[in-house]
Structure 1
């Protein structure tokens, strides 16, 4: 990561997002507490969270098109500005005692939509400020940022909410100011020159979907990421439900997310080393096989909190695999299509994760926790098979300073090997 620490523009963007994502984590922890105090209903607290997640899913594809059509710097500033105003309004209403449930829902929807725009645009802009060979390392640093924030945000949110109910949201507003400052200080352009007349929305979206589906590597990433997220999310939810049914203390169950977060954070720190030692294709295969094995072991330990340990071990490999795959995606995707390609893959990956808890709850209700985790292990095994046999994964050539990316697609990379069949 040495050279990235000297990349001024990347560090400005990354540092601003450390604070912004920390503010989101703090406020995200406080929202259900606020709803519980306001309504006394656990169901309504869950409804707010569900509406927020649905909004994010619905926005993935539209914001992908938007990130490829508009000035990316202005898009990120606009997204931060909208979130700042929404969060500030909520904080004021809390202070004066006029907050209502519909206001919390409205703010959650606005924040989810604006966050989807910012994160997609940030990813799309990454290729403009980071050399192609360093993109996997940059993605690994972003992974580390996410895991670190996930560990620090909830405890800080609890402390601030205990001092004053508006404090988490005021802190989030300040974090958006830091994010805007970081974006404004970036010197370089965040996109290449574009055509004067952009395609219509449907044509642009169809082009992005077609680009992913037709490219062997991008298609493989989509079919690996979806079952991976689905399986891990469902298994973790099943472990939590199983421990609750067995009378495990809530404080012990609360440690599950901490254990998983530590595993992911350690993996994100080790990711550049693992990428250098193993390479892209081996990492993708090891990740899928390790995740499959971890779920099989967890299925045997469902009556104990030890069931989460194998999953945490698999998450040590996950950031390196994610960084290698998504760094390569960014390197081989043309700048004009970065937003759409990322949003298509992210929609597939997050859709599976969104339905996993509901499916897990249903399966546990009609069967056993062990059988439920085995179902998710089978889904993970399908991703492992794809990683093992996929031509796109097998023939993906790592991007290095001596072997730059061909801006086009994975097919362009394959063509550089001289084998027409690779295309």
Structure 2
């Protein structure tokens, strides 16, 4: 299948030509995202958000159990928070595309600060009750659903497109590091005082809000149409009131505002995302591979618990995945520079499938440890390349909505995988083998999707702007 390239000259227009002091539009292959203005401050704010969320995620179920003395209540509250976040994420995508993303990032940090501080004070003073707990559990889901996409969306205006893969590889390393450190740190803090993880999370959220304040408004000097939407050959369904209303023509501006109503933007985001050439295939690929991995990971964990494997040894499996992910993130940037993104996706899918296969024939602890750890080694390069391309080639005014569409569709199916794996282990003979076979089937399907769809032809990062999203 020949690559479908774009030739619209508007892509080559630099920000300097538009009168904006921002990241250069020319190729940045030899540069690092750390050398671009504001990236370090954005990364600090993003890391604060991720680390604070990890501390809260660890501590909230423990606090809920201490209050209710019910495992069901603790698990149900956590699940409810996830459901609220998933329901609100599509709405949040529109909000992010209609408002200043720096302001939304600040609001997210301050919101997490308030929730953490409130819960810490209530736990410390012994005044925590069920209504306050429910509010404290649901509030992070509401905040993440409505404002969470702003952090990813603002990055589009801070770094050039061809640095997205390197930036994503840095984030993969950060995610692995936070995953390795957050649980032990939160456990130690909780062991000292039950309120301490929430207090520390509140402080870290405040630091993130401060760093967000230091970012430029809307990423640079406001949203600038870089021609990508037009290059892909489709309108996003919104109308710029100022563009349609020269001078002070109030009536024309009102018409433009009406056309850009919230409902119109919401529908336009889904229509735009699902009518691209490559993006729908990326969504399908992400959903399939996510279901396979989430189901297998949960199935392995539950199977080891049922066999009486110690919590320490089960933890080693996730530690192995975290360590391998950290190692993989260190080479992800170089891999994305040297190999075409489509080839990286196909190779990663093939190797992931190869890691699934041994678990069909052997469910021993050693096999589980090695196979799941090796999968962790492959994911950073896959995520850095494919998702770097997806966000890098999405026009700035569509970042929030594209992110929400992707997260919603991938997340809904991914959320079903643990339930299905648990059901198979509970009610079917040879349950884990069935889960492993299903993971292999899905892994093979993901490989075929990558090989037979436009994903296959996505070029290297320095040529992403030539390829249709």
Q: Give the TM-score normalised by structure 2.
A: 0.83
Aligned residues of 2:112 and 2:140 also touching (Cα < 8 A): yes
Aligned to 1:418: none
Q: Which runs of 4+ in 1 moved over 3 A?
A: 116-119
Q: CA separation in 1, counterparts of 2:181 and 2:272?
A: 38
Across the two proteins, how many residue pairs are aligned to each other?
406
Aligned to 1:396: 458
Name the one with the larger helix percent.
Answer: 1
Matched, 1:32 2:61: yes
Secondary structure of residue in 2 paired with 1:207: helix
1:404-415 equivalences in 2 (<5 Å): 405=465, 411=468
Q: Return the match for 1:168 from 177, 186, 197.
A: 197
Q: CA separation in 1, counterparts of 2:449 and 2:279?
A: 12
Larger Rg: 2
Q: CA separation in 1, counterparts of 2:131 and 2:364?
A: 40
Aligned residues of 1:48 and 1:105 also touching (Cα < 8 A): yes
Matched, 1:243 2:307: no
Q: Return the match for 1:335 from 387, 396, 400.
A: 396
Q: CA separation in 1, counterparts of 2:167 and 2:224?
A: 23
Secondary structure of residue in 2 paired with 1:176: helix
Which stretch shows the higher mean deviation, 256-265 or 155-164?
A: 256-265
Q: Return the match for 2:83 from 37, 43, 54.
A: 54
Q: Give the TM-score normalised by structure 1.
A: 0.91
Q: How big is each residue's C-alpha offset from its partner over 1:256-282, in whole Å with a ceiling of 9 and x where there is no partner?
A: 221111122211121101112222001
Q: Return the match for 1:145 from 174, 192, 197.
A: 174
Q: How big is each residue's C-alpha offset from its partner over 1:179-230, in whole Å with a ceiling of 9 and x where there is no partner?
A: 0111111236425158232622332122221222221210111011001111
Q: Gaps (5+ residues) in structure 1?
A: 414-423
1:305 CA drift (Å): 4.2
Q: How big is each residue's C-alpha offset from its partner over 1:88-112, in whole Å with a ceiling of 9 and x where there is no partner?
A: 1111111110112332221121112
Q: How big is each residue's C-alpha offset from its partner over 1:364-423, in whole Å with a ceiling of 9 and x where there is no partner?
A: 222321122111221121111100100x213323342xx5726xxx53x7xxxxxxxxxx
Matched, 1:298 2:355: no
Matched, 1:372 2:435: yes
1:12-27 equivalences in 2 (<5 Å): 12-27=41-56
Q: How big is each residue's C-alpha offset from its partner over 1:267-309, in whole Å with a ceiling of 9 and x where there is no partner?
A: 1121101112222001111121222221112222313243132
Secondary structure of residue in 1 paired with 2:32: helix
Aligned residues of 1:263 and 1:316 also touching (Cα < 8 A): yes
Secondary structure of residue in 1 paired with 2:186: helix
Q: CA separation in 2, counterparts of 1:189 and 1:66?
A: 13
Matched, 1:182 2:245: no
Aligned to 1:192: 223
Q: Return the match for 1:134 from 163, 171, 194.
A: 163
Aligned to 2:229: none
Aligned residues of 2:32 and 2:166 also touching (Cα < 8 A): no
Q: Return the match for 2:292 from 209, 225, 231.
A: 231
